[in-house]
């Protein structure tokens, strides 16, 4: 599911940085997550590509009753900092800003490349991921933060 979603996003030339739970998995987290969190470039051409792909995936709002008024277009992206969607491919969250990091440009600057088969994309660095969890400070993220900091410590231990 995630591999196929990431491959499709890359194939369409969509500019994004992987953040959230799947990014944590890339860095070694053992926690389960069922949604793909992305920080996207809010430039009009990129948003148009995202809208086209999400329409093909029949994206709809996650967690609300079906068939409520919902317009998936560039204007919705412009006026919404976070879109939480479900789709035929799986759940996807789209952010124009990462808390504690900034917009796509800032996220890109704090990202690193990941290769899965022929697909290459960018993921937030572990340090930036920790900074974003610290900035959000939700109670439910506390355990996640503890795990991410442990991964960082284990990595540093491994380098010594």
Find the binder of other proteins among 52, 76, 109, 127 (CB under 8 A): 76
User: Residue 20 Cβ, how far from other proteins at the closest point, in Å?
Assistant: 9
3-state secondary structure 58-100: CCEECCCCCCCCCCCCHHHHHHCCEEEEECCCCEEEEECEECC
Orientation angle between helical segments 20-27 and 142-159, nearest 10 degrees: 30
66 binds other proteins (CB under 8 A): no
- Calculate the CA 145 to chain-centre distance: 17
43 binds other proteins (CB under 8 A): no
Count of residues in the chain: 160
Find the binder of other proteins among 88, 117, 159, 160 (CB under 8 A): 117
Return residues touching other proteins (CB under 8 A). 1-3, 6, 22, 25-26, 28-30, 32-34, 61-64, 68-71, 75-76, 79-80, 82-85, 90, 93, 114-117, 123, 134, 136-143, 146-147, 149-155, 157-158
């Amino acid at each position: 599911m995630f591999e196929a979603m990431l491959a499709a996003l890359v194939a369409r030339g969509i500019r994004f940085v992987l953040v959230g739970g799947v990014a944590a998995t890339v860095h070694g987290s053992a926690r389960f997550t069922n949604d793909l969190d992305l920080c996207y470039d809010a430039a009009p051409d990129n948003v148009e590509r995202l809208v086209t792909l999400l329409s093909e995936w029949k994206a709809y709002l996650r967690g609300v009753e079906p068939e409520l008024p919902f317009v998936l277009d560039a204007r919705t992206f412009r006026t919404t900092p976070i879109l939480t969607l479900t789709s035929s491919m799986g759940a996807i969250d789209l952010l124009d800003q990462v808390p504690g990091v900034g917009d796509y440009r800032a996220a890109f600057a704090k990202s690193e490349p990941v290769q899965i088969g022929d697909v290459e994309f960018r993921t937030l660095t572990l340090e930036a991921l920790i900074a974003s969890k610290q900035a959000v400070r939700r109670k439910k993220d506390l355990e996640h933060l503890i795990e991410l900091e442990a991964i960082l410590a284990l990595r540093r231990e491994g380098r010594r």
